[in-house]
Amino acid sequence: LQIYHRHVFVKNNGLQHFSSYVLSSAEHNSSVSLTPSKSLLTSTEISRLARAFVSWGVRKVRLTGGEPLLRADLLDIVAGLNELRSQGLQSIGITTNGILLQRQARALRQAGLDALNVSCDTLVPGKFELVTRRRGWDRVWSGVRHALDSGFPIVKINCVAMRGFNDDELVDFVRLTLDHAYDVRFIEYMPFDGNRWSTRKMLPYAEMLDRIRVEFPNIERLPDEPNHVSKAWKVPGARGRVGFISSMTQHFCAVCNRVRVTADGNFKVCLHGGSEVSLRDAIRSGATDDELKQIVSDSLQRKKAQHAGMETLSKLKNRPMILIGG
């Protein structure tokens, strides 16, 4: 689960060795161990947590990675979440690497999914293979096009910008928004366990925008939506838009209302925080919904006003991003 205090992301793990494309480096650390199946939340536990969070005021749920499309019961989970709309749930989303999207997009849309994020850091197939260590770039983009054809009004494309890897593709990504209903979101490179983070690779929001303005000097700032973490821009006349997630250089901690429940059931109040508490263990020990609510409330009370700076974060212990969910 991932939750914004008003939104929930349910984190599903299919197979964690299946490369997620919100990768922080072309030098992806492939040593991430698989979580034993018995340690993962079951569909029943996911359903219970989602139902509880919706009853506490959550209005948005997103299923994230690992890679959620590998989960055999994903359609049932989405259909179950769709039933919570009568209780106040407003949006059901997913973040995927897109490899299996063409096969499942239509069924997911019919089951109630209404928001789609696809993680892809490059428009160059050769770079894609370098990062992911497998082919599949064409399948990702076939899946994106199929999703639009299946009724998704817009597809968000998540791109981690990295100096020396894909910083020469920024303008090409923006061009995608001219004729397609894409919301391309450039994400500042962030430190996590195993991604060999360095300040040299980090491309700041301001620099990204300056580079894009060389080609699109008339790109316009759009109003921020409440609690959204992406700074939205649009080329006049374009069908889609561009966003920047500036976690490192212009943090948005004051308006961020997102929290997460990992695939193994740990509750995280901050993406960059190492502090976690197990809701899975509480459920399996017989906790009531009121007791779960108290655990969540206590965790939120301990949340810091903002996360640490880049250099400090790079030295702190935290999960690899693939084990947290984007």
Q: What mean pLDDT do residues 264-292 have?
A: 87
The mean predicted confidence, pLDDT, of the chain is 82
pTM (two decimals) = 0.82
pLDDT in tens, 263-272: 889 898 876 5
Q: Rounded CA gap, 185 and 252, in Å?
A: 15
Neighbours of 129 (CB within 10 A): 14
Q: Confidence band (pLDDT; 50, 70, 90) for 16?
A: very low
pLDDT band at residue 246, thresholds of 50, 70 and 90?
Answer: confident
Q: Which contacts qualify for 15-18: CB closer than 8 Å, 24 or more apart? A: 15/66, 15/67, 15/70, 16/66, 16/322, 16/323, 18/66, 18/67, 18/70, 18/97, 18/99
pLDDT per position as a tens digit, 153-163 = 999 999 999 89
Structure tokens at 276: 């976690």
- Across the range 106-116, mean pLDDT stands at 98
pLDDT at 250 (0 to 100):
66
How does residue 2 score in pLDDT terms, banded at 50, 70 and 90? very low
65-103 pLDDT, tens digit each? 778 999 999 999 999 999 999 999 999 999 999 999 999
Q: How far is CA 308 from the centre of its chain?
A: 20
Looking at the structure, give the CATH architecture of the domain made up of residues 2-153+189-202+248-265+297-323. Alpha-Beta Barrel (3.20)
Residue 5: per-residue pLDDT: 41
Which of 57-61, 110-114, 219-223, 261-265 bottoms out in mean pLDDT, i.e. has the lowest?
261-265
**pLDDT-based confidence at residue 257 (cuts at 50, 70, 90):** confident
pLDDT reading at 134 higher than 90: no
Helix axes of 74-82 and 43-55: crossing angle, nearest 10 degrees: 20
Q: How far apart are CA 83 and CA 74, in angstroms?
A: 14
